[in-house]
Amino acid sequence: MITCVVEYVIDPAKIDAFERFGRRWMDLVDLHGGIHHGYFLPAEGASDKAFALFSFPSLAAYEDYRRLFGVDADFIQADRIRDESGCVLRYERTFMRPLLPGQGNIESQPD
C-alpha cells in the first residue's frame, strides 16, 4: 500500500470552494480504486494549511489513477473548481508507506 499525503496552502477566504474541491476528489479517488482518508482543514492556529491523505494498493495502481488527469472529464471538472476559485495557492505531495497496528515486523519479511 502507498499513501499520498498532500499538504495544501489555501486561501482561508475561499474555504467553501476548497471543501467542494475536496469532496469531489474524495469521490474520484474512491471510484478509481483508492481509499480516501479525508481532508483535514484548519480549525485552530495557522488558517492557511490543509491536508489530504489517500491510499492505493500499489504505486502502479496510483499511476493508473494519475493517467486520468487532464483526460477524464470528471478529473478536469474537479480541477476546474480549484483553478477557477483560486482556493489552493500551492500544494506538495509526499508518498508514504503506512505502519499499521497488527502489522508484523517488516524487516523479518522476505524480499
Q: Each residue of 46-80: pLDDT tens digit?
A: 689 999 999 999 999 999 999 999 899 999 999 99
What's the pLDDT score for residue 111?
43
CA distance 63 to 68: 9
CA 35 to chain centre: 10
Q: List strands edge to edge, sheet with 2-10.
A: 35-40, 49-56, 2-10, 88-96
pTM, entire model: 0.83
Q: In order of start, what are the domains of the chain with their CATH numbers?
A: 2-95 (3.30.70.100)
SS3 66: helix
Q: Which amino acid is at 58?
A: S
Which cell numbers in the block locate residue 14? 475561499
